Amino acid sequence: MKKILIITERTLHNAPRVIREIDALINDFKIYTVGISPPKKNIEKHFDFELIKNSFFVRGTLLLKRKFLKNRAPNKLIYNGKLKKIEKIIQEVEPHIVIIHEPINLPYVSELKQKYQFKLVLNAHEYYPLEYEELPNWKETMQPFYEGVYHQFLPKVDLFVNVCESIRQKCLSEFQKDSLVITNASSYNPIATNPVVKKPIRIIHHGNAIPGRKIEDMIQMMDYLNEDYELHLMLSDNKSEYFHSLAEIIKQKKNVFLIDPVPFDKIIETINQFDMGLYILPPTNFNNSIALPNKFFEFLQAKLCIAIGPSPEMKSLIEQYHLGIVANDFNPKSLAEKILTLSIEDINLYKKNAENIAKTLCAETYNEILLSEILKL
């Protein structure tokens, strides 16, 4: 059986995209991983990310180099110490295929590819050259770095995987590199639809408390809804300053509630008790503007009516499969007005539509596609 080495800077016990990737491949390959924590699956061997992590001093030095070199010579940003650490793992595993999830590691793995004769896969979680484009310092240092990495090293990638069609088209346009679209669809969950019987309509939003997601906009939306509606926020990263600022706002609201987060594998059964999944994500950068996130598919597998702002990737699926409502713009009042037009019967119809399409828009569908392409390498 061939060997696959997966390298990521994520916690593998709760990184949805990496977990689904392992699920897709584990029956046909021996799986080895590098990450911050090991996966829950019984794999061949896990290597702690600390084994390949650059020291604080090296990271600072590379940051300065990125600032001055920009995209002219990303190959000069390879630190030999880290290269040797990755090479040591590759020597031990002897992989047929190496999959990386963060392009910051692409120069290192590309450098070793010819010597060790493995196939190289980049499974990108977003469009990295514009990841934090709204931040001036990031735009000055990391954007040209990632652009340089993509220009120089994407040609060495045997299989490039992206999360949505918009990013596929962007990479084709900017770097002339095609990619396989594997969405962040959740695994199929047979949990039954939980129909709405009476008001109040219980709305749920879950995920990380990140300032760029403007969660305060969804809280503000509730000012335009009456006592027949409740918003429940299940937010992680509850030690952050942003989380505490949201908690202070929520204290002033009678129809907004904080609930404790649950483990990744309990999300769908937990949110199934609600009526509507909510996400207003302002297009503050390219990745936000074309987002098709995990939570969208978790709403679907939980058999919820979905209510969103007009984010094009999510909007396309909602309209194609009649899964819920889309606001005319990203103003919280616009979505509140749409919600007020829904009857209980409307909400239950959207929930039923989610149930009907859940076996199609699920990870298992995309896992088959990913496995098929990996087997061709």
Q: What is the pLDDT of residue 51?
A: 83
The least confident of 68-77, 116-125, 219-228 is: 68-77
pLDDT, mean of residues 39-49: 95
Tell me, yes or no, whether 175 and 41 share the same domain: yes
Residue 2 backbone dihedrals phi, psi, to 5 degrees: -70, 160
Task: Report helix, strand or coil for 315.
Answer: helix
Which CATH number fits the domain that encloses residue 50? 3.40.50.2000
Kindly report the average pLDDT of the chain as a whole number.
Answer: 93
Q: What is the pLDDT of residue 74?
A: 55
pLDDT, mean of residues 315-328: 98
Cα dihedral across residues 244, 263, 123, 179: positive or negative: negative
Tell me, yes or no, whether 229 and 151 share the same domain: no
Tell me, yes or no, whether 323 and 222 share the same domain: yes
Q: Are 64 and 85 in contact (CB under 8 A)?
A: no
Tell me, yes or no, whether 97 and 129 share the same domain: yes
Burial track 231-252 (b if 16+ CB lie within 10 A, e otherwise): bbbbbbeeeeebbeebeeebee
Q: What is the DSSP string of 132-149?
A: TTTSHHHHHHHHHHHHHH
Tell me, yes or no, whether 25 and 140 share the same domain: yes
Instruction: List the one residue out of 347, 342, 324 whose CA is nearest residue 197.
Output: 347
Tell me, yes or no, whether 91 and 216 share the same domain: no
Tell me, yes or no, whether 103 and 224 share the same domain: no
Tell me, yes or no, whether 230 and 314 share the same domain: yes
| In-domain check, residue 196 | no
Tell me, yes or no, whether 350 and 369 share the same domain: no
Give 306's strand partners.
277, 324
| In-domain check, residue 193 | no
In the structure encoding, which two tokens stand for residue 313, read together? Answer: 């990737």
CA 241 – CA 56 distance, rounded (Å): 24
H or E segment and range at residue 161: strand 159-162
CA 226 – CA 215 distance, rounded (Å): 19
CA 93 – CA 32 distance, rounded (Å): 8
Confidence of residue 81 (pLDDT cuts 50, 70, 90): confident
Assess whether pLDDT exceeds 90 at residue 71: no
| In-domain check, residue 24 | yes
Helices 165-175, 312-321: crossing angle, 10 deg rounding:
140
| In-domain check, residue 284 | yes
| In-domain check, residue 351 | yes
The least confident of 58-72, 158-172, 238-252 is: 58-72
| In-domain check, residue 191 | no
Task: Report helix, strand or coil for 229.
Answer: strand
- In the chain, the percentage of residues whose pLDDT exceeds 70 is 93
Q: What is the pLDDT of residue 18?
A: 97
Q: How far is CA 192 from CA 78, 126, 302, in A?
A: 51, 32, 8
In the structure encoding, which two tokens stand for residue 201, read together? Answer: 């309509």
**What is the separation of C-alpha 292 from the centre of its chain, rounded to a whole number of angstroms?**
8
| In-domain check, residue 65 | yes
Q: What is the pLDDT of residue 237?
A: 78
- Domain that residue 299 falls in: 201-357
In the structure encoding, which two tokens stand for residue 286, read together? Answer: 């390219």
The 10s digit of each residue's pLDDT in 339-370 is 999 999 999 999 999 999 999 999 999 999 99
The 10s digit of each residue's pLDDT in 245-302 is 999 999 999 999 999 999 989 999 999 999 999 999 999 999 999 999 999 999 999 9
3-state SS, 90-139, equals: HHHHCCCEEEECCHHHHHHHHHHHHHHCCEEEEECCCCHHHCCCCCHHHH
pLDDT, mean of residues 207-214: 92
Tell me, yes or no, whether 298 and 371 share the same domain: no
Q: What is the pLDDT of residue 156?
A: 97
Tell me, yes or no, whether 148 and 31 share the same domain: yes
| In-domain check, residue 190 | no
Tell me, yes or no, whether 231 and 167 share the same domain: no
The pTM score is: 0.90
- In the chain, the percentage of residues whose pLDDT exceeds 90 is 84
User: Count of domains in the chain?
Assistant: 2
Give 120's strand partners.
98
CA 265 – CA 257 distance, rounded (Å): 22
